[in-house]
Amino acid sequence: MNEGSGALQLVLSGDPALYNIVRLSLVVSLSAVALAALIGMPLGGLVALTRFPGRALLIVILNAFMGLPPVVVGLAVFLLLSRSGPLGSFGLLFTPTAMVIAQAVLITPIIAALTRQSVEDLWVEYRDELNAMGVKPFARLITLLYDARVALVTVLLAGFGRAAAEVGAVMIVGGNINGFTRVMTTSIALETSKGDLPLAMGLGLILITIVFAINASAWGLRLYAERRIG
């Protein structure tokens, strides 16, 4: 196929612009995953282990927000970061930082909701043992997050997949600026709009390949960890 050979040529040519776009995609989405994990994992763990009024509602909200529309998240972050918005003075709009924030907002509910599920399942299994060892609530949270680590790798992957694939949020808050905020998905949208469908498709294949490679290595890691950890 035309499209496939186009993509292959792109990769083989080692085009620095393409390399930068791929690199920025990875940096933005991985940073968003890291930021979302930093917030979402403790949050999910806390919700799993504590009882408070409104907990059920919070769980429903987290689960529902797993399907947040990227373009809505993008718009909300845009309005916050715009010079006329409440956080405008930081001048973050149309920067990679803004893209990280938008993607982190998008996937924090995913990471929190899936973490809550994993931790709660593990808590059912561990509850008696940990109580018998007199484990305090904070240590309990750390223990469960750590012992759920294999499952949490999958949680991170789910977040990464969502972040790397979305175009709506990064387009709005990043502005698709050539060489600065242009990532794989916005490039694909741009090339599509320029009518260069083979190039757009080629970029799409590269993106899919990258996501596939990351998933494959994470899966390999998981198999290895399961053999090691049991």
Partner 1 sequence: MSDLPIKLSHVSFSAAATPILRGIDLVLRAGAPTFLMGPNGSGKTTLLRFLMGLMTPTSGTIEWNGSHDPAPRRRAMVFQHPVLLRRSVAANLLYALEQAGIEKSQQDKNCTQLLELVGLVDLADRPARRLSGGERQKLAFARALARSPELLILDEPTASLDPSATLAIEQLIARAADEGIKIVIASHDLGQARRLAGDIVFLHRGQILETTSAVSFFQRAQTEQAEKFLRGDLIIER
Partner 2 sequence: MNFLKIVFTATALSLATFSSVCAQDKTITIASTTSTQDSGLFNHLLPAFKAKTGIDVKVIAQGTGQALDTARRGDADVVFVHAKSAEEKFLAEGFGVKRLDVMYNDFVLIGPASDPAGVKGSKDIVASLKAIKAKAAPFVSRGDKSGTHLAELDLWKAAGLDPAGGKADWYKEIGQGMGAALNTAKAMGAYLLSDRATWISFKGKDGLAIAVEGDTRLFNQYGVMLVNPAKHPHVKVALGQAFVDYVLSAEGQKVIADYKIEGQQLFFPNANK
User: What residue ranges bind partner 2 (CB under 8 A)?
Assistant: 27, 30-31, 34-35, 37-38, 41, 82-85, 88-89, 91, 93-97, 100, 142, 145-146, 149, 152, 175-178, 180-181, 190, 192-197, 199
Can you tell me the distance from the alpha carbon of 114 to that of 41, in angstroms, rounded to the nearest whole number? Answer: 9
**Residues sharing a CB contact under 8 Å with residue 160, sequence separation 6 or more, in sequence order:** 29, 30, 33, 107, 211, 214
Q: Which is nearer to partner 1, 1 or 229 (CB)?
A: 229
Of partner 1, partner 2, none, which one does residue 132 interact with (CB within 5 to 8 Å by kind)? Answer: partner 1
DSSP string computed for 126-162? HHHHHHHTT--HHHHHHHHHHHTHHHHHHHHHHHHHH
Dist. CA 47–CA 139, nearest whole Å:
15
Q: Cβ of residue 52: shortest distance to partner 1, in angstroms?
A: 20
The contact mask relative to partner 1 for 119-148 (x = CB under 8 A, - = no) is ------xx-xx-xxxxx---x---x---x-
Contact of residue 13 among partner 1, partner 2, none (CB under 5-8 Å per partner type): none
Residue 223: CB minimum distance to partner 1, A: 14
| Contacted by 23, from partner 1, partner 2, none: CB < 5 to 8 Å by type | none
Residue 70's Cα: distance from chain center in Å? 12
Q: Work out how close the CB of 153 gets to partner 1 at its nearest, in angstroms, rounded to a whole number.
A: 13
d(Cα 100, Cα 159) in Å, to the nearest integer?
Answer: 13
Given the complex with partner 2, which of 59 and 188 has the nearer CB atom? 188
Q: How far is the CB of 208 from partner 2 (least distance, A)?
A: 21
Contacts for 39 with CB less than 8 Å, ≥ 6 apart: 104, 108, 111, 112
